[in-house]
Amino acid sequence: MRPQPMIAVRDVAASSRWYQELLGCTSGHGGNEYEQLLDRGRKMILQLHDWDREEHPHMGDPDARPLGNGVLLWFAVDDFDAAVERARGLGAEVLEKPHHNPLAGHHEIWLRDPDGYVIVLAGAPAAT
């Protein structure tokens, strides 16, 4: 099984650029209606879909807030410190500063993306 989460966004191209910068991933599709973001050019990690396209009637209402209530987009990253710097460079809204999560044994930072979704970047667990 391979999860392939899809989020609805107002500007697919802008969101694609934002996520590519944040995660160091690449475009696998491109375009203004739909995008596939790939890790190392191979594995799809996230899909972006334009709110205004009607082929998916169950995506929800873009004006209902908060978007994704109860859903977090959680990314385990190999380069946590560099990812934090990329988030700062993007001016991402920081919800929780970088910190050590003792229960999970890793560092994490909580952000909000340009559409309002909550994003968590988690580093590799500390070696025991």
Q: What is the DSSP letter of 3?
A: -
Task: Write out pLDDT tens, residues 55-94.
Answer: 767 777 777 777 777 789 999 999 999 999 999 999 999 9
59 falls within a domain: no
The percentage of the chain sitting over the pLDDT mark of 70, rounded to a whole number, equals 95
Domains in the chain, number: 1
61 falls within a domain: no
Identify the domain containing residue 27 by its residue range.
Answer: 6-53+70-122
Specify the pLDDT at position 89. Answer: 97
Q: Is the pLDDT of residue 24 over 90?
A: yes
> What's the CATH code of the domain at 38?
3.10.180.10
Q: Is the pLDDT of residue 128 over 70?
A: no
Mean pLDDT over all residues of the chain? 91
Half-sphere exposure of 38 toward its Cβ, with a 13 Å CA cutoff? Answer: 9
Task: For residue 36, give the nearest of 18, 51, 48 by alpha carbon.
Answer: 48
Contact 36, 47 (CB under 8 A): yes
Confidence at 127, pLDDT banded by 50, 70, 90:
low
